[in-house]
Amino acid sequence: MRPDKTLGVLGGMGPAATADFLRVLAERTPAGTDQEHPRMIVYSHTITPDRTTYLLGKGPDPTEYIKDGLNTLIGWGADMLCVTCNTAHHFIDGFRDEISKPIVHIIDETILKSSEISPKGAWLTATLGTMKTGLYQKHAKESGYTFKIPDYDMQVEIHDVTDMVKAGLHKEAGEKFRGIVERLWAIEKLPVVGACTEIPIAYANSGLDKEMGISCLEALADGCIRELYHKK
């Protein structure tokens, strides 16, 4: 049965992650025919200024771009929304009450998935912007979950991996990320949360054990499916 709601996807931050989210959503949707898949409107809003660059004091504020993107999707007929960028949710949290349609929040969904897979905690890998805001740590504290945080030098390397994915260097990003994760696992063998939408792409190209990776894209897809198909 196809859901009545139309999902609005605000993407382009970055494009490869948006495309991967759509693939993951299609694969995980409980549908047997084209007609049973949800209606979607995708806005690849690539002109949005880089979120981390702004948070590090080096670029323009993306807030109005993100807000405009969400309101554009609503104007086009979206009944519910999601955003395929973790760092963007730092800005969304500041104006969420101004948006007239519900947002499936990638941070909350990823923490929920992490707590189900690894109740004792997980390694958090994200952009420097997401780390700087403490976005995941704040939301995790509210739900009683704990993340292990890589040291700052590793955080810089992880951010470089996300830039490599954005540049289309997926294989190279996977190789670099594998080296980072192996060093994290030498400290403590816990699942690794890809808390930037480019990181699941790097993880998929790393050759690492799939069961030890927690994808924010899969978490977001599962949250959208729940809201579309199972919530009355």
Active site residues: 85, 196
Cβ atoms of 195 and 110 within 8 Å: the answer is yes
E strand or H helix at 105: none
Q: How far apart are CA 223 and CA 105, in angstroms?
A: 8
| Other Cβ atoms within 10 Å of 201 Cβ, number | 27
Order across the sheet with 39-44: list the strands: 39-44, 6-11, 80-83, 103-104
Residues 6+ apart with CB under 8 A from 108: 139, 143, 223
- Residue 26 host element (H or E): helix 15-28
Residue 29: what are its φ and ψ, rounded to 5°? -70, 135
How far apart (Å, rounded) are the C-alpha atoms in residues 186 and 56? Answer: 30
Q: How far apart are CA 125 and CA 155, in angstroms?
A: 7
Q: What is d(CA 41, CA 98) in angstroms, rounded to the nearest whole number?
A: 20
Nearest CA among 190, 224, 215, 179 for reference residue 83: 224
